[in-house]
Structure 1
Amino acid sequence: MTVPAAQVFRVPMRHPGDVSGIEALFEAGAAIPAQVVAILAKTEGNGCVNDFTRAYAVQSLEMMLHRHGVTADVALVMSGGTEGGLSPHWIVFAVGEAAAPAPGGALAIASAFTRDFLPEELGRMPQIRETAAAVRAAIAQAGITRAHYVQVKCPLLTNERMADAAARGQSVATTDTYASMGLSRGASALGVALALGEVDEAALSDAVVGEDWSLFSGVASASAGVELTRNEVVVMGMAPGWGGDLAIAHDVMADGIDFPAVQRALAAAGLGAPGQLSEAQQAQAVAVLAKAEPSTTGRIRGARHIMNDDSDINATRHARALVGGVIAAAVGRTELFVSGGAEHQGPDGGGPVAVIVRR
């Protein structure tokens, strides 16, 4: 009798349409196309409404997966923006088989999808509730006993989508397309928090999304894009019935320079180090995933920052560069999945950081 076993591959990319590294995995037999359940990526666009590197990457992936006979839903989560030293890369998640469960459990992965949302539902309770249902479904499917990172790809509002709502006599949460990204991410994160019991449903309403920063999830990571109209959810955690040599742990950064939180996450995954990881430890760190967000107070530990005041460079781009540098200093490499826009994903100005390791 075999048990499921998670597989995770970190693959560099030369440009957002470069899927050659993933195809090489398939051709070498290292990964089997039909076993792929999710692909995450950092692409080199601006991460804003008009970042079509995400759609380009999704299209390239879909065409490639189709060539390899993949017809089932695969969660494709593209996070735009590789500011600072961050390196564009893919992270491929697959589920194979092992002969027996790993002692103490192992990394488990499952994905789920919401229905398509109407424009007027984005950033509001319907998106929260539907996301929570998808998270619960993924957890049940994989038998996850503790979720350490929940990645959500969510839609945003465009002028065309807002016009559709208006034509039906419906109002939307905002008429600012960029602000809609934050509200969609925030509602998705609160859906994760609701599913995991981090926030009580009685505390939730349309009004708290993007306003009450005391409500958040310590494991949610949401990324908004123009290329979809539903939420795609990938839950990563530990499960007793899974085999393989992968494990996951996480911590929560209190702010953008919370180096000790990164070290705690590494140590919880078995990679404790007084400073930067050794070369051997770096080889064990398969993937690092984190959220980044400028604090709404305009300060980091009492000192003023200008991320929210810069008219030339978007605030989330500053945050990705800052947090990417802090994590790179701990891990010793720049292929890091650092996603901007952490509304309700960790405390104000902070965010979750998770580490997948090979034991």
Structure 2
Amino acid sequence: MSLSSVDVIRIPTSGPGDTSGLIKLIETGRIDPKSILAILGKTEGNGGVNDFTREYSTVALAGVLASRLGISTEEVEHRIAFVMSGGTEGVLSPHITVFTRTPLPASQARRTEGKRLSIGIAHTREFRPEELGRRAQIAETAAAVRKAMTEAAISDVADVHFVQVKCPLLTSERVDAAEARGAGTVTKSSYASMGYSRGASALGVALALGELAAEPREEDVLRRWDLFSAVASSSAGIELMHNVVVVMGNSVSSSSDLVIGHAVMKDAIDAAAVRAALGSVGLRADGTSNAAIGERIVNIFAKAEAAPDGLVRGLRHTMLNDTDISSTRHARAAVGGLVAGLAGTTAVYVSGGAEHQGPAGGGPVAVIARA
């Protein structure tokens, strides 16, 4: 069995194009560019169709790494999984999280006990516009999840605690291109397409991990809210036309000093679930030691969603009816404040739009911490 050392470094950013923190850690030897497997980031855009901070951040980071790896930016983006999530409403702090993996010599004895953090990445093929939100995206995502699990040396689905997917969305040009070929898209709305793409991707994760009793149908996307993954997190963006999959879990093949655990929020104010996620990695949020918790946490990843029935525990909310601010921005701010308060840090990764990612109105929350 080959061993690897996995590390996760969280770096604050002053803007979507800020690469200074990454450069400093590379120059001081803290990060070896060759070991970088994935970079997840929170950027201060609107998180919508026209949020170009995601692409801006990806291009900036890829440019820095291309010059140090001696390859093109296109090759960097294929080699490294970039997942930029727009929207840092409320107290959320912009940052990037860098995941590295270094193979260990076969002769090196394992120094840790139990299973430790391991990650794997995979890319689907390019999708045609008419395939978004449909069977092809579900199936291809499921295949990519299985491939990433193999790369991470995770054989038991119970050891998978978070699956981050970056998926595409539809633009008017992409819709027109499909119609020119006589193919209809799942929707003509760019904004609505984000939900379809996120939802189909999440169902693909659920399919791969055996979380569904039967293979989901196309008509289940954004309709069967009882079908979901407890560990999926999908983020849609304009900057790609394929899915990028990052599987995070624990494996005996990893000698990392990090572990990951998760829980599932039933709604946007489910503090008990956040505490349970912290508890899954040996942390206790009792309201008195949150600063110490913040020091041990490497990062928290959570999904946020406005309950589709317009209620939170029987009381009406207005997130779905606000013309000025989209519901995903409301949800990110609400869940971000809850998670930050319990975790003792505002540099947490909270992504909006949790279609089929946890129960309707809720979502998964995962914690990476030092063991």
TM-score clears 0.5: yes
Name the structure 2 match of 1:155.
168
Deviations along 1:247-273, one digit per CA (max 9) or x if unpaired, are 000000000000010000001101123
Aligned positions of 1:1-359 closer than 5 A: 3-69=3-69, 71=75, 73-97=79-103, 99-101=108-110, 102-144=112-154, 145=156, 146-202=159-215, 204-275=216-287, 277-359=289-371
Gaps of 5+ in 1: none
Alignment partners' CA distance in 2, 1:259 and 1:346? 15
Match of 1:64, SS state, is helix
Alignment partners' CA distance in 2, 1:131 and 1:2? 26
Alignment partners' CA distance in 2, 1:54 and 1:277? 34
Alignment partners' CA distance in 2, 1:255 and 1:276? 24
Letter in 2 for 1:156: L
Deviation at 1:174, TM superposition (A): 0.3
Tell me if structure 2 keeps the 8 A contact 1:276–1:329. Answer: no
Match of 1:24, SS state, is helix
Deviations along 1:94-149, one digit per CA (max 9) or x if unpaired, are 10245443210100011000000000000001000000000000101111131100
Alignment partners' CA distance in 1, 2:242 and 2:214? 22
Percent identity, please. Answer: 53
Match of 1:63, SS state, is helix
Tell me if structure 2 keeps the 8 A contact 1:111–1:232. Answer: yes
Alignment partners' CA distance in 2, 1:354 and 1:266? 8
Letter in 1 for 2:61: L
Alignment partners' CA distance in 2, 1:277 and 1:89? 24
Tell me if structure 2 keeps the 8 A contact 1:11–1:91. Answer: yes
Alignment partners' CA distance in 2, 1:238 and 1:113? 21
Gaps of 5+ in 2: none
Alignment partners' CA distance in 1, 2:213 and 2:176? 34
> Please, which moves more after superposition, 20-29 or 70-79?
70-79
Tell me if structure 1 keeps the 8 A contact 2:293–2:344. Answer: no
Tell me if structure 1 keeps the 8 A contact 2:90–2:333. Answer: yes
What is the TM-score with the length of structure 1 in the denominator? 0.97
Tell me if structure 1 keeps the 8 A contact 2:122–2:244. Answer: yes
Match of 1:308, SS state, is helix
Deviation at 1:200, TM superposition (A): 3.4
Tell me if structure 2 keeps the 8 A contact 1:8–1:93. Answer: yes
Deviation at 1:5, TM superposition (A): 1.3
Match of 2:319, SS state, is coil
Letter in 2 for 1:43: T
Alignment partners' CA distance in 2, 1:74 and 1:56? 16
Runs of 4+ in 1 over 4 A off after TM superposition: none
RMSD between aligned residues: 1.2
Alignment partners' CA distance in 2, 1:219 and 1:94? 21
Deviations along 1:168-213, one digit per CA (max 9) or x if unpaired, are 11010000110000000000000000000001343x1111101110
Deviations along 1:155-176, one digit per CA (max 9) or x if unpaired, are 0000000011011110100001
Q: How many pairs were matched up?
A: 358
Match of 2:184, SS state, is coil
